[in-house]
Structure 1
């Protein structure tokens, strides 16, 4: 029997995994008996007895005895530009956190090499932990440029990862994005935050034109573009409709942060343009809820919001570690699952997670919702979490027919784990031990598009030691600029603190925090 043709490689490569257990979410044990899986080119060609009939002139045989082969993990939401800032900040509310994280200062403009190195830092961490695909909502400060876009995309190309990348760039002034701030600022300070961002709409759309025409579908389809409005309150209606047109025309995922914080819930009533509507309702009224939309966080949502999301078929990106780190609250997981809303899991940025480890995200998902209510039948189960991690991630990328499942014809994005390790000894329940016990140390092989990119803890696509050394040197030189940015943030801190306290005191008819902590002081 001859092998199928593959569009991604002119000369097909073949890898045969023998005596390996396959992750099987529908079976009682969660995995198959030992079997064979054949990869040809960038796809799974055959499984089991069907694989025995294939022959190839050149193939690598991997003994999977005692190993588990499963779909590669998918990081459904990420921001790469702050990969170098892990551990820099204490836990802070989002609106204050962003003062320090991503001010649009000229001092923070990266060189192309810096953008390349910082992107590869996370690629290395993800690939070693079995993450094969990522959705990068890249905010490039002080604004996106062609050379920085190219550096980020080249880093993903060289790493071997599957990446979908958008340009997260607001176009409204700071005062237009937040409640109460204008009234809290003295007149002389107000003007500074009333300035629009650097790039006009036409310039931002030109950056998207470059991203799409230069990079979308390259590397055999491994690299793709998405669009991002950052959040609906951060952009004009004209610009958000332009992004929707790009998303619809090219069938691209559309990223939008919504109702991540209580302050964003308050915003709907505090600013006249929203007319008392939640950001979900506002977005729906603009005609933007769709199956392409990734609604990021969705913590301070009510049942009406969830009904709108479910009806539109939009995906929710859940980032539980980031939500805890920033004190944003606990997302109503069960209410979403009961409505059939697709959920993917993400790390968010490294500075809000301090790692890029999807195993930790999965475990946190399995824990944090247990303190959201007393009905333990409503707490997440391990199988549900793995569904979010794998098939939910594929759905968020618009690749639900390509990723997330081991089946012939699917893309060969795979991770192999050693079951003869402490997390799986003794093996009581595979699903639960994948979620609650594994931390990435059992990963022995990562494959993306049929290419082995990491094996035995060693990256094949990145010189990790050289990367770490260069990163230390580059970001040691960056430290004064980061400290200068922090000093600028300190000037605004009293006003943002007062804004946060005022929003926290508003009754919005729901609570997504745990406990009865005192309200924050405005000073």
Structure 2
């Protein structure tokens, strides 16, 4: 691989008051940061990029994502998660994708992320109605072709719908109850075989850019036996383990009603499965005991503030997590629950929403904390040493930002302007593993215009099937609304939404 020398750049540095270094040179070799100095001479055959005072910083890391609905942005109104999921991912054969469809929808997300400076993603990908080797390959191939760095998991429940949710069993008429009592998607044995395919075929592919992860979706969505087997996979291969926990009030109620008063965090702990490999997704409706268990286990939390607002889930305990030493990364969640795949927007929301949590403004998130969550903490979540930093030896996943662009003129405080002013429009170059993958707002690794044109035509032709799926799922809506109302009436000792007198 040809090396690259960045000359005359300002280096992102949150340990300095201004948030960046004086002008420096930085050398990239063999996909990693090799050398940083005040002046470096070009090597033979090395590409030289004169930064002319631009900011060189680590690429942003999307710490939680579901690529399977990249084509559905704007399709749904804001709805509570449990109602939202009726329409987001129904296990209907009419929605079964072709490999080309899976490739196109994955590539839509890659293009949007790379254009705006997101270089790595944790894709907790779900597959409707169930995964197959061909569809897994199509998703992974899109990431390989785009040049992104990814951790890819199979987010698949394997218990019935009635086992995942409180109250629903008693609300349904007998014929509907029988239909929803069937186990979901694919059985555990088949899912484990598919994980074997993912790991054997793709883990470490593209010079290590493509790696596997494991996912239980959520503890209540899988059997304890499969949960344990996934943890064993995670341990044997040192893979991140994704688990949605306590995203909504209803999930807290599930613990009260279905787990003998234990929260999903406590339930996972009791199974012996909380660990420093685990990415706990959302963690909004947690109590102090849950936070102590997460801290003791060394688990990560993936915070998705835009999604949490869009679905009315609540506000995470940002300061309490930081005070207990729980690492927090940031994620988009998915295009249909954020309607953009833009980590700058996520950072802005993360910096803003938590001002409502404390009267003491000194406890509000600082711009530096938010930037670390979107870079260094994301690298830790992905279990990639050095990722999200500019340390020597770190992966050369870098972005170059124009400090003469409007978000930085005048330049008053770089960290705050990165978080509150920038939306990706100032990113002039994106590099992953030492390779330039986007420049001046265009992805360089694929024929972006042709892919977008093909995707637009393909998914326009998919609308009838999606409308049919919506109509079928709408027949269940009254029962899910009743379930949601019962959960809302259930007494809890904690609250993560606005109090009644502010609604």
TM > 0.5: yes
Q: Which runs of 5+ in 2 are unaligned?
A: none
Show the counterpart of 1:52: 40
SS for the counterpart of 1:296 is: strand
Q: Is the 8 A contact 1:124 1:462 kept in 2?
A: no
SS for the counterpart of 2:101 is: helix
For 1:341, which of 300, 316, 326 is the aligned residue? Answer: 326
Q: Is the 8 A contact 1:123 1:156 kept in 2?
A: yes
Show the counterpart of 1:487: 471
Show the counterpart of 1:425: 409
Q: Is the 8 A contact 1:172 1:196 kept in 2?
A: yes
1:386 aligns with 2:371: yes
CA offset digits 1:115-171 (Å, max 9, x no partner): 000000000000000000000000001000000000000000000000000000000
Show the counterpart of 2:253: 266
Q: Distance in 2 between matches of 1:370 and 1:185?
A: 41
TM-score by length of 1: 0.95
Show the counterpart of 2:489: 505
Q: Distance in 2 between matches of 1:52 and 1:63?
A: 12
Q: Which moved more, 1:274-283 or 1:183-192?
A: 183-192
Show the counterpart of 1:4: none
1:270 Cα offset (Å): 1.2
Q: Distance in 1 between matches of 2:23 and 2:12?
A: 11
For 1:40, which of 29, 34, 39 is the aligned residue? Answer: 29
1:467 Cα offset (Å): 1.2
Show the counterpart of 1:174: 161
1:361 aligns with 2:349: no
Q: Is the 8 A contact 1:372 1:514 kept in 2?
A: no
1:220–1:377 distance in 2 versus 1, CA, 3 Å: same
Show the counterpart of 2:52: 65
Show the counterpart of 1:128: 115
Q: Distance in 2 between matches of 1:517 and 1:153?
A: 48
State the 4+ residue runs in structure 1 displaced beyond 3 angstroms. Answer: none
Q: Distance in 1 between matches of 2:231 and 2:129?
A: 24
* Number of residue pairs matched by the alignment: 503
1:518 Cα offset (Å): 9.9
User: Which residues in structure 2 correspond to 1:180-191 (within 5 Å)?
Assistant: 180-191=167-178
Q: Which moved more, 1:464-473 or 1:70-79?
A: 464-473
Q: Distance in 1 between matches of 2:22 and 2:500?
A: 50
User: Which residues in structure 2 correspond to 1:128-167 (within 5 Å)?
Assistant: 128-167=115-154
CA offset digits 1:66-118 (Å, max 9, x no partner): 30000010000000000000000000000000000000000000000000000
1:517–1:109 distance in 2 versus 1, CA, 3 Å: farther
User: Which residues in structure 2 correspond to 1:66-465 (within 5 Å)?
Assistant: 66-271=53-258, 274-399=259-384, 401-465=385-449
SS for the counterpart of 1:454 is: strand
1:232 Cα offset (Å): 0.1
Q: Distance in 2 between matches of 1:200 and 1:445?
A: 44
CA offset digits 1:8-27 (Å, max 9, x no partner): xxxx3111111100001101
Q: Distance in 2 between matches of 1:58 and 1:393?
A: 33
Q: Distance in 1 between matches of 2:381 and 2:30?
A: 24
1:57 Cα offset (Å): 1.7
1:21 aligns with 2:10: yes
TM-score by length of 2: 0.99
1:517 Cα offset (Å): 6.5
Q: Which runs of 5+ in 1 are unaligned?
A: 1-11
